[in-house]
Structure 1
Amino acid sequence: MLSPIKLLLVEDSPVVTLILKRIFESSPEIQVVGTAGNGLEALELIPKLHPEVICTDLNMAPMNGLEFTQEVMKKFPLPILVISASVQVEDTQKVFQLLKAGALDVFPKPIGGLVSDYDRLANQLIAKIKILSGVKVFTRRQKMVLTEDNNQLVKINQEPVSNYNFSNENVKSLTIKVLAIGASTGGPQALYAIISKLPANFPVPVICVQHISEGFLEGLVKWLACESKLQVKIAGLGELPQAGIVYLPPEKRHLELDSHGRFIYSQADKFPGHCPSITVTFKSVAKFYGRTAASVLLTGMGRDGAEGMLAITQVGGLTIAQDQATCVVFGMPKEAIALGAAQYVLPVSAIAPLLLAKLKI
């Protein structure tokens, strides 16, 4: 029998602490090993209790949830779920600050705040803890340099990727006319790591598909726009992709390209599974752009995107999968690698430098 998941609760309300503790301990697979009233108390408990997952509130004193998350990621990297009244759909800035700091997910406290309100959400909360317990969190950058050998990147443990310059001698240039990126769990942090490094003169359109909870898409767009030198927007129906713009599909719609390369939407029932689907978009990009397509598949659970990346590989496009060491969840990239769809397997910090080298920027 597997040991229960060790959970640390960080919450300044004694009432909410009791409610959450009761909910989590109703599952035999979860054990609440400790509680803390603020981030400072929790930091002292972590090395003593060795939790596997942390749930924290946001608004606490003297150390709030954001500050606590930042400290945990520096000292004791662990999966963090933020449960707060301040992570509603309208709290864009707070939500994505937390994700940028390293929190893996957010869960809005019920607005009513009644015990019955929490009980209705009990199964969702328990499910999130079970998912996060399988996530390994890394903060140390993997040290390596990358060289090209028969069109494959070879990892050599020598120096930080961020310090390595992809020179003309190492990386062959390609004709790239579009960049497609897919991500799921842990994706906002990975998207930030790539998009924030692309220059204002980035010469091709970027089409992103990020699995995200309903209602948070607009917040993701605004956050990425603030962190990027590029324009970030929802792809318009019939719009022709333009260089230097990052496009995301609207909620509950797959994003594809018509025979003229303009954006079209399709319904969820056309392609069962995630909607929007990474594979649907990647396959459409492969069909229209062929060997001039570049694709990146980032952290995420499941296999969405793997077959789409294979389609881009089969037409001769550039394909990059995020490596296991820097993934929050090594699901989707692993599936793509297993299919032979990933031409390169890179830490997230090396993806933008490789793209810029390929484009000779």
Structure 2
Amino acid sequence: MKIAIANDVPMAAEALRRVVASTTEHQVLWIARTGLEAVQLCAANRPDLILMDLNMPELDGVEATRLIMEQSPCAILVVTGQPQYNVNQVFRALGAGALDVTATPVLQGGAGGDAQLLAKIHTIDKLIRHSGGNQAMQPKGVNGQPPVPAAIHTLVAIGASTGGPAAVAAMLAGWTAPPDCAIVVVQHIDQHFADNFAKWLGEQLAMPVRVIADGDDLQPGTVLIAKSNDHLTLDQNGRLGYDAAPRDYAYRPSVDVFFHCVAQHWRGAAIGVLLTGMGRDGAEGLLAMRRAGHATVAQDQASSAVYGMPRAAAELDAAQLVLPLDRIGALLRSTTGAKP
């Protein structure tokens, strides 16, 4: 991959350059010292991936990401010092179109940081090269159709990737789900940042938000967030869990895996929503939900940060409706009976 670096701190930029140069499959295309320079260089010589810092002169990483995704879109990985202390900026960058976030490795003695960064780069490389996607394996389950858990009649299953945090927050803002409705969000995000995502999202919404532990039951009136790099599953009893298989699937946690579980096991009403994201994850699962008789919706191109996953769903005729983000929120409220 051709990789660019946007970082105004010379030691940090050199540390990133050395990590990239340590591999044979990647090369550094250019290094920008300001956010504005990154936007300009990307327009002139677009890389496969940009390692984007958050705090830079002229334009910060959030605004640089937004402009690049508007003008010269490419994959962006936020690489910044102590991202856990910059939660708001991180999620603004993810909302603007960044794929993921990781900490900046140090110049000396940073083997652990180097490995983590290279793992992120490898995953993004895989997503870029295989954006057609591998069909997700359906998780194993027990046959039979047990009744829906008494307290919950409607399940809203949401899948999102690039630009997803901001899209989920905007879609669910301003209303509270009724007590017979559960909401599950599968967002492509590293497990180490899932708790921060839940906390951030909870600050945006009127509903309670929490991460999912293995073995949890669906919770009425609550937004539940997948928090593992393993895939989120739902069994015939409405119980949530995690499964490492399929291990070679680039999208983790996979929207497809969870949507297939809903199609296979959920016997109440369900609404599948596929939001902005790179690649094709979720399209096959949304189609399975539609074939199982559930309502299915995909975000439209104009309101998507990256029109990859929703486009794939539209091409498969998996989505009954393709709508802008604000209309999806209105549809959920009217369908579930939720009050604004």
User: Is the pair's TM-score, using the shorter chain for normalization, greater than 0.5?
Assistant: yes
**What's the counterpart of residue 95 of structure 1?**
90
1:190-243 CA distances to partner (integer Å, 9 max, x unpaired)? 3223223x5125562211122321311111111111111211112463534303
**What's the counterpart of residue 104 of structure 1?**
99
**What's the counterpart of residue 161 of structure 1?**
none
**What's the counterpart of residue 220 of structure 2?**
242
Q: Percent identity?
A: 34
1:357 Cα deviation after fit: 3.8
Output the CA distance in 2 between the equivalents of 1:227 and 1:183: 17
Residues 157-176 of structure 1 mapped to structure 2, 5 A cutoff: none
Output the CA distance in 1 between the equivalents of 2:247 and 2:88: 33
Residues 114-133 of structure 1 mapped to structure 2, 5 A cutoff: 114=109, 120=115, 123-124=118-119, 126-127=121-122, 130=125
Q: Do residues 356 (structure 1) and 310 (structure 2) align?
A: no
| Conservation of the 8 A alpha-carbon contact between 2:163 and 2:305 | yes
| Conservation of the 8 A alpha-carbon contact between 2:159 and 2:282 | yes
Residues 173-322 of structure 1 mapped to structure 2, 5 A cutoff: 177-196=154-173, 198-202=174-178, 204-235=181-212, 237-243=215-221, 245-251=222-228, 252=230, 254-259=232-237, 261=238, 263-269=239-245, 273=249, 276-287=253-264, 289-290=266-267, 292-301=269-278, 303-322=280-299
Q: Which moved more, 1:263-272 or 1:7-16?
A: 263-272
Q: Which amino acid aligns with 2:198?
A: V
Residue 59 of structure 1, aligned match among 40, 55, 59: 55
Output the CA distance in 2 between the equivalents of 1:353 and 1:215: 32
| Conservation of the 8 A alpha-carbon contact between 1:66 and 1:98 | yes
Cα separation, partners in 2 of 1:201 and 1:37, compared to 1, 3 Å = same
1:278-328 CA distances to partner (integer Å, 9 max, x unpaired)? 334334433554462111122345554334323321232110123345445
**What's the counterpart of residue 144 of structure 2?**
none
TM-score, normalization: structure 2?
0.72
Output the CA distance in 2 between the equivalents of 1:80 and 1:180: 26
1:90 Cα deviation after fit: 6.0
Output the CA distance in 1 between the equivalents of 2:186 and 2:292: 20
What residue ranges of structure 2 are gaps of 5+ in the alignment?
131-152
1:352 Cα deviation after fit: 1.4
Q: Which amino acid aligns with 1:92?
A: V
Q: Which amino acid aligns with 1:211?
A: H
Residue correspondences, number:
311
Cα separation, partners in 2 of 1:284 and 1:103, compared to 1, 3 Å = closer
1:98 Cα deviation after fit: 2.4
| Conservation of the 8 A alpha-carbon contact between 1:19 and 1:118 | no
Residues 321-336 of structure 1 mapped to structure 2, 5 A cutoff: 321-336=298-313
Output the CA distance in 1 between the equivalents of 2:280 and 2:70: 30
| Conservation of the 8 A alpha-carbon contact between 1:190 and 1:348 | yes
1:219-273 CA distances to partner (integer Å, 9 max, x unpaired)? 1111111111211112463534303x111234236331443x4x24253248984
**What's the counterpart of residue 342 of structure 1?**
319
The CA RMSD measured in Å over matched residues stands at 3.9
**What's the counterpart of residue 140 of structure 2?**
none
What residue ranges of structure 1 are gaps of 5+ in the alignment?
136-175
The alignment partner of 1:215 has SS state of helix
